[in-house]
Amino acid sequence: MSGCVFCRIVSGDAPATKIFEDDILLAFLDIRPITRGHTLVIPKNHASDLDDLNPALGAQLFAGGHRLAKAMRRSDFPADGANLLINDGKAAFQTVHHVHLHVIPRQTGDTFTFAKGFVLRRPHDMEHTAAAIRTGLDRLAAEERETHA
Ligand code: AMP
Ligand code: ZN
């Protein structure tokens, strides 16, 4: 959709630090992260909010976020957990009107940092951070191969 910044990221017309992509989904770092590794997962096809989103695609979106949360536990900045969140509609503070699932890695005891993070939201070393999470995805895939071997 022209004028949509996330559609421009999908088409390559706007920059992003990508974590993974397939035919359906794209995941990239949030430019104003609440914690290091804060990632957004989006459907490549434009849907503005949950009202506009095919439920089967919503399930795939969650599966992508689920996978990322598992990868973050295995990344080079290992998380202890994650917050998965969708702001659906202006009333819920949605500011980019292309559905996105926030995956926000958490550390035990970081509550104060997380609360502050909403105000501070400063980018970390994006390439290094993205590489750490991609390593987590590789480790997860290796674990799954071992389990199914
Ligand atoms: P929301 O309030 O759920 O609509 O959040 C939108 C998120 O998109 C915010 O956390 C922004 O920091 C993030 N964001 C906006 N533009 C970009 C961009 N060009 N690349 C990466 N993240 C973005
Ligand atoms: Zn869009």
Rounded distance between C-alpha atoms, residue 101 and residue 83, angstroms = 10
What is the residue range of 30's domain?
5-148
pLDDT digits (tens, 9 = 90+) for 89-112: 999 999 999 999 999 999 998 875
Q: How many folded domains does the chain comprise?
A: 1
Contacts (Cβ under 8 Å, ≥6 apart) of 70:
136, 140
The active-site residue, picked from 38, 97, 98, 100, is 100
Tell me the CA–centroid distance for residue 80 and ligand 1, in Å. Answer: 24
CATH number at residue 30: 3.30.428.10
- What is the residue type of 69? A
What is this structure's pTM?
A: 0.91
Please tell me the predicted confidence (pLDDT) of residue 24.
98
Residues in the ligand 1 pocket, defined by CB under 6 Å: 5, 14, 16, 30-32, 40, 87, 93-96
At residue 131, φ and ψ (nearest 5 deg) are -65, -40
Residue 95 CA: nearest ligand 1 atom is: 4
Tell me the CA–centroid distance for residue 30 and ligand 1, in Å. Answer: 6
Pocket test for ligand 1, best of 38, 40, 94, 129 (most atoms within 8 A of CB): 40
Active site residue 100: yes
pLDDT digits (tens, 9 = 90+) for 8-24: 999 999 999 999 999 99
